[in-house]
Amino acid sequence: MPPRPEHVLRSQDVELAIDLDAGARAVRWTVGDLSVLAHHGDHTVEHGMYPMAPWAGRLRNNVVRWGDYEYGLPTTFASWALHGTVLDQPVEVIRDEADADGALLVARVAKSPAWPWPVVIDISWDLRGRTLTTEICVRSEDFESPAVVGWHPWLVRQLGRGEPIEWSLEATEQVLRGGDYLPTRETKPFDRTAGPFDDTFVVPSGAGLLRWPGALAIEVVNDAPWYVVFDHHADAVCFEPQSGPPNGVNDALRQPIPTAAPGRPHRMVTTWTMRDDLPADPA
């Protein structure tokens, strides 16, 4: 089948273009004349803003363990089974609404290849004015399944004006990573100056801030206390709210492993509030 046109959500001066053939990912996010999403590479994990489900990030040894069973998952990027099963799948549009206040898209992935449990994954983009509310929901009708979800935006370091991106988190702890870059069970106090980062953070409030000084700020509030930040590249930063840590379907570190079960879906809601970040007045 030929590719479908981008699905565009608009409200005030904000525009989001969603690729319905690639997991309902945003391929363009503009605020006024500023475009915030980066295209670091052509591989499906290297551009736009996409949902990660039914797992987020890396899995130790590319396996998911549940009860007495261990399931191997195919590698999808380098040597990793990375970022779930949604990001390169076509989606079905469940709701498509637009009015004077904004626009809503709800898309569904009904099959998750290689995942051992039959799950349905819904992705919601709800744009109202300069507030974007996103939701990822994993539903299982027959069996209990481990589930961790997240958003993976690639953000440009430099907009068309203003200063390069700065990010901050209301983090209480940084999880130490092992040689495989997966989180261990050890933590240390968060030190924003200790980067560059490819790390997991505990953020009880769920609050973070993206800021291009003199141009734009995006306040992020997640209803789960986990973030991953990757800022090694010169052109882009990844700022990822998640419902659990990487490898969280096997080890939630400090809480029971989250699950989706009949009548009890696993969901994560995140708000992204955009505001102008005006240049400081001269002294």
Residue 75 burial class via C-beta count within 10 angstroms: exposed 0-12, middle 13-18, buried 19 and up: exposed
CA 217 to chain centroid, in Å, comes to: 18
pLDDT of 222 over the 60 cut: yes
Joined together, the tokens standing for residue 140 give 């299982």
Of 231, 166, 235, 240, the closest CA to residue 196 belongs to 231
Point out which residues pair with 242 in neighbouring strands: 150, 226
Q: What's the maximum distance between 2 C-alpha atoms anywhere in the chain?
A: 66
- pLDDT band of 230, cuts 50, 70, 90: very high
**Domains by residue range for the chain, with CATH:** 7-276 (2.70.98.10)
Give percent of the chain above pLDDT 90: 84
Percent of the chain with pLDDT over 70: 98
The residue to which tokens 């004006």 are assigned: 161
**Cα–Cα distance, 118 to 141 (Å, whole number):** 8
pTM: 0.95
pLDDT tens-digit series, residues 176-200: 998 888 889 899 999 989 989 999 9
CA–CA dist 123, 267 (Å, integer): 10
As a whole number of angstroms, the distance between CA 263 and CA 49 comes to: 29
Residue 283 binned pLDDT confidence (cut-offs 50, 70, 90): very low
CA–CA distance, 83 with 246 (Å, rounded to integer): 9
| Average predicted confidence (pLDDT) for the chain | 94
